[in-house]
Each structure stands twice: as structure tokens, then as C-alpha cells.
């Protein structure tokens, strides 16, 4: 299983047994006579309006898993009611290579991966003591947003992007436009991903069946990486091994594409395993301290438990990988 820092598993598991009234759907507040979307000209990104509202953030998913696996999901507990008091704008797609190129062309910015000369994304096969082979990503040289490890067009999501890189892009957009662009908070991201009914995946409650739902670890991925160490959903084939051009799959009912799958997306928040235990219910901003940042949404190479909108992951501000990008909020 994929590694995370030690968590307060026993204490958080205890919270799962406490009764909690969970409304069936999101409570949406929609403003009248407001535009639903606009294109920001400096970046070329389209933004859609996400209404204010309340929803149940987090899950009891860990409780449904074998004891050995609960640690990977326990930081989603306890599910709790959250209210976002103001509507906000969110890019309808992940930030594209085209948009990031505009930023780099104007500023000469050098990303974390370019400075370090390496990033996570080389396929490496190893053999265990029993002689069983398996493959997974390893850190490799010269992997960057310009050279992700596969052929990508301007309309693919930019990857090998750290949180620091995403922040630099957002600051450029703020300076250029005078508008308060930013990364979404973790609460905003989960609320927006689940849509008006706050479903398990951005496309709905059910597992994918048509290959139009999202870009995930499926038959195409399995065919390209037959020794992949982790589970793959082989009953669908979306015909993309790696990233897909943004907007290639169905949008949710807020008009947002690829909130499940394609690439993980950085959020503004600092990460803490127990954020949901003591955090505020009104407009939460994440932990006050901590060296790591949250990313959400799953990627083209991830299995279904990690593609749920409630799933949390995190990494250092300089971490980059072939499956991490970002989306901009306003």
C-alpha cells in the first residue's frame, strides 16, 4: 500500500462510531442573475460559478476497510457538516500546459522539478524475495512539465507541478489581473467535486461503466503497465494511458471537468490528519501549521478507493509527480 506518515488511527476510528446526522444532499444557495462562467483572458482558462452552500465533508470509508488498510483513509473522519458562506469561481478544468506556458513565457519561472532535475514518474519494476515482479513510479531525472514522460498537447493538464509552482502561477495571475485568484481550499474542492448531490465520485455514486466518467487506472493503463503494483479497474477502457486533454470526460452538474481522475490537484490548505476533529464548520481554511499541503482528486493511475471525492492526500510544498497538477479558484 502507498506510504503515508503515521496517523492517530485508534483515536480517529473511535470517532467513526459516534452517531452523526448526515443530510442526504448538499444544501445549495444560488444567487440570481449571475453569469455562470467566464473566460479569463491572461490564462485562457474558463471559470464556472459554484454556489454557496452546506455539505457533509469527509466519510466513514475507513470503517468499511480491512484493519490493515484503515490507516490510508482514517483522516477522512469524522464526517461533519461544513458551510461555505460565499459563492466562488473555480476553473472548469485543470490548469493546462497552454496556460502554464503563458506564465513561464512572461516570467521565466523555473519549476521545482526543473531546479532539482528530477520528479516522480519513471516506471520501475522490482522483484521481491519471492520472485514476484511489480511496477510503480520512481523518481527519475529530467521529468518536468515540458517533458512529462509521454506525448502531451497544450490542452493536457500541466503535471510535475509542486504546490510552490502552483502558488507562483496563481500569484502571476493575481498580479496580472488585479483579481484575487488562488488555489481552492480543501473544503471548496470537495464540495465542488461532489456536485449538488455531493456524490461519491464527481460523476455520481456508481463505479464507472461507460468509460466516459473519468480518466482512471483502467484497461488502457493495465495494458501499458501489466506489472502495475496496485489495483486496476479493467472492466472499462477510456483509451488514455496517461493524462487526457482537459474536458475529455463528462462534467458534473456544477460544470466542472476531471474532478475525479486525470491528475491530483493541489489545494491551498496545510495538511493535518486530525483537521476534521477540531476544524471550524464555517469556511474552513485547513490546519494553522504544518509543512505539507493537501492535494485531491486522484489521477489517471489510481484505483477507485482513491478516486472518491472525500479522499485526502498530501505532500511537501516542493513535491512534484507525473500525476499532480492544479486548478485555480477565485
| Residue 222 in this model has a pLDDT that exceeds 50 | yes
In this predicted structure, the answer to whether residue 282 has a pLDDT above a threshold of 60 is yes
Task: Judge whether 277 lies within some domain.
Answer: yes
Q: Residue 85: which domain range?
A: 9-114+151-326
Q: Which residue in this structure is represented by grid cell 449571475?
A: 34
**Counted domains in the chain:** 1
pLDDT 10s digits, 14-65: 444 444 333 333 444 444 456 799 999 999 999 999 999 999 999 999 999 9
CATH of the domain at 193: 3.90.1580.10
Cα separation, 285 vs 315, whole angstroms:
17
pTM of the model: 0.90
**pLDDT (average), residues 181-195:** 98
Is 26 inside a domain boundary? yes
Residue 3 has pLDDT above 90, yes or no: no
- The pLDDT assigned to 18 comes to 45
pLDDT at residue 221, rounded to an integer: 98
Is residue 127 assigned to a domain?
A: no
Cα 57–chain centre separation: 15
The reply to whether 242 falls in a domain is: yes
For residues 243 and 262, the answer to whether their CB atoms sit within 8 Å is yes
Residue 160 has pLDDT above 90, yes or no: yes
145 is a domain residue: no
Asked whether the beta carbons of 262 and 214 are under 8 A apart, the reply is yes
pLDDT at 144 over 50: yes
pLDDT of residue 26: 46
First to last CA, the chain: 36
Comparing 3-12, 196-205, 261-270, 296-305, the range with the smallest average pLDDT is 3-12
Residue 212 falls within a domain, yes or no?
yes
**Is the residue at 86 inside a domain?**
yes
pLDDT-derived band at 2 (thresholds 50, 70, 90) equals: low
What is the pLDDT, as a whole number, of residue 87? 97
In this predicted model, what pLDDT tens digit does every residue of 71-111 receive, in sequence order? 999 999 999 999 999 999 999 999 999 999 999 999 999 99
Dist CA 307 CA 23 (whole Å): 22
In whole angstroms, what is the distance from residue 7 CA to residue 74 CA?
Answer: 8
Determine the pLDDT at residue 318: 98
Give 86: exposed, middle or buried? Use CB within 10 Å, 0-12, 13-18, 19+: exposed
As given in the structure block, the three cell numbers for residue 284 are 474552513
Does 133 reside within a domain?
Answer: no
Amino acid at each position: 500500500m502507498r506510504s503515508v506518515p503515521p496517523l492517530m488511527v485508534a483515536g480517529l476510528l473511535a470517532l467513526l462510531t459516534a452517531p452523526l446526522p448526515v443530510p442526504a444532499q448538499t444544501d445549495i444557495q444560488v444567487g440570481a442573475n449571475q453569469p455562470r462562467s467566464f473566460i479569463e483572458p491572461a490564462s485562457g482558462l474558463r471559470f464556472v460559478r459554484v454556489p454557496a452552500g452546506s455539505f457533509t465533508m469527509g466519510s466513514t470509508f475507513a470503517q468499511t476497510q480491512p484493519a490493515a488498510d484503515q490507516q490510508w483513509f482514517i483522516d477522512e473522519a469524522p464526517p461533519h457538516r461544513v458551510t461555505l458562506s460565499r459563492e466562488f469561481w473555480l476553473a472548469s478544468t485543470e490548469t493546462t500546459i497552454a496556460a502554464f506556458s503563458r506564465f513561464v513565457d512572461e516570467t521565466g519561472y523555473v519549476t521545482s522539478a526543473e531546479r532539482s532535475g528530477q520528479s516522480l514518474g519513471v516506471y520501475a519494476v522490482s522483484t521481491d524475495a519471492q520472485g514476484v515482479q511489480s511496477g510503480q513510479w520512481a523518481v527519475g531525472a529530467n521529468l518536468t512539465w515540458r517533458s512529462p514522460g509521454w506525448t502531451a498537447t497544450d490542452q493536457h493538464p500541466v503535471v510535475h507541478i509542486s504546490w510552490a509552482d502552483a502558488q507562483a502561477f496563481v500569484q502571476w495571475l493575481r498580479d496580472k489581473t488585479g483579481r484575487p485568484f488562488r488555489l481552492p481550499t480543501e473544503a471548496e474542492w470537495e464540495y465542488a467535486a461532489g456536485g449538488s448531490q455531493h456524490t461519491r465520485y464527481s460523476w455520481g455514486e456508481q463505479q464507472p461503466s461507460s468509460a466516459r466518467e473519468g480518466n482512471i487506472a483502467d484497461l488502457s493503463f493495465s495494458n501499458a503497465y501489466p506489472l502495475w503494483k496496485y489495483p486496476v479497474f479493467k472492466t472499462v477502457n477510456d483509451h488514455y494511458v496517461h493524462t487526457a486533454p482537459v474536458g475529455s470526460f463528462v462534467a458534473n452538474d456544477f460544470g466542472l471537468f476531471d474532478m475525479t481522475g486525470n491528475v491530483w490537484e493541489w489545494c491551498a490548505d496545510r495538511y493535518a490528519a486530525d483537521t476534521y476533529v477540531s476544524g471550524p464548520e464555517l469556511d474552513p481554511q485547513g490546519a494553522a501549521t504544518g509543512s505539507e499541503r493537501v492535494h485531491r482528486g486522484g489521477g489517471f493511475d489510481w484505483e477507485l478507493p482513491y478516486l472518491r471525492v472525500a479522499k485526502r492526500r498530501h505532500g511537501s510544498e516542493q513535491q512534484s509527480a507525473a500525476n499532480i497538477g492544479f486548478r485555480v479558484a477565485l
